[in-house]
Amino acid sequence: MDPKSLRLALLHQTKGTSRSLIRTFLQVDSTLQFVFSLSLHDLTSTFKLSPKRAKTFLDHLHSSTNRKQLLKNLSDSVILPIWHSDYPLSLRSVPDAPLLLYAKGNLNLLKQEAYISIVGTRKCSNNAKAKVKKVLPPLIDHGFTVISGMADGIDSYAHEITNELGGSTIGVLGFGFDHCYPEHNRSLMETLAHRHLLLSEYAPHTPPKKWHFPERNRVISGMSFGTLVVEAKERSGTLITVDQALEQGREVFALPGSVLDDFSSGCHKMIQDGAKLVQNAYDILEEWNGLKRN
């Protein structure tokens, strides 16, 4: 790993840092070398950190504990800075793209042409599972890699069915690889790590936090040409991913359901707002082929 990438990786896991702070550092010095000679006064006066945060940052940046953690992270996963050749190309153009990704599994899945993200409710119905099982095979046959967030419900089912059908899938996590959430997805996580690919912008030792999951959603949608929503209430966390996809200029697809079903109300609202109604996989393939032609 080159020195600049090592410096980024160390900064990325240092307490008191943030994506915006590291971006500011990169604007001052693209090599990031100057950061390691900053004083407490520099951080508080030039970079406007509070004294408490500045001290936390400096103490941890120069600690042996932080460097030992970096060595462990390097041995446990592949670290992809935003300038790395394996960093997902489509993700680089996303506003506030992760400056660094941790990867575990088959890195060749980052070199595919076609990606579709599949998201939906955590308490999915059997009808929703049947829809996924109908839509996925033609997409897999056309070489699509399926991306989701390994959450309960539709996310996990999309990963599981893709694996069963012999397709490729990427799990984007809201925590580091040393953890698993929900815990009962441990087996699925191991399957993805060994046969497919796991990605996270959080260092392996980072536990899940509530705000990580909305942040993770921009990666799911940003890597995909489009996002397929299988089942969602009108007020659903799934809609965060949809909002991210729209902001990123990605396609949004929705599977309709019964008007009697609250879990279809979110999809119906999306369709009213302009999402493409999907009856089968060919509705998605039509958009993909049109995009390639243009």
- What does the pLDDT look like over 77-133, one tens digit per residue? 999 999 999 999 999 989 889 999 999 999 999 999 999 999 988 888 888 899 999
- The per-residue pLDDT for 240 is 83
Number of neighbouring beta carbons within 10 Å of residue 276: 16
Rounded to 5 degrees, what angle do the CA atoms 162, 87, 249 make? 75
CATH architecture, range 104-293 = 3-Layer(aba) Sandwich (3.40)
- The per-residue pLDDT for 174 is 97
- The per-residue pLDDT for 243 is 87
- The per-residue pLDDT for 122 is 87
What is the distance between the alpha carbons of residues 89 and 94, in angstroms, rounded to a whole number?
Answer: 10
CB 160 within 8 A of CB 189: no
What is the distance between the alpha carbons of residues 124 and 291, in angstroms, rounded to a whole number?
Answer: 31
- The per-residue pLDDT for 86 is 96
- The per-residue pLDDT for 36 is 96
Provide the angle, in degrees to the nearest 10, between the axes of the packed helices 51-61 and 64-76: 60
- The per-residue pLDDT for 192 is 98
- The per-residue pLDDT for 282 is 95
CB 199 within 8 A of CB 219: yes
pLDDT in tens, the chain (294 residues): 899 999 999 999 999 999 999 999 999 999 999 999 999 999 999 999 999 999 999 999 999 999 999 999 999 899 999 999 999 999 998 988 999 999 999 999 999 999 999 998 888 888 889 999 999 999 999 999 999 999 999 999 999 999 999 999 999 999 999 999 999 999 999 999 999 999 999 999 999 999 999 999 999 999 999 999 998 887 767 878 888 898 899 999 999 988 767 778 888 988 988 899 999 999 999 999 998 887
What is the distance between the alpha carbons of residues 81 and 102, in angstroms, rounded to a whole number?
Answer: 9
What does the DSSP 8-state code read for residue 86? T
- The per-residue pLDDT for 239 is 79
User: What pTM does this model have?
Assistant: 0.94
- The per-residue pLDDT for 82 is 97
Polymer length of the chain: 294
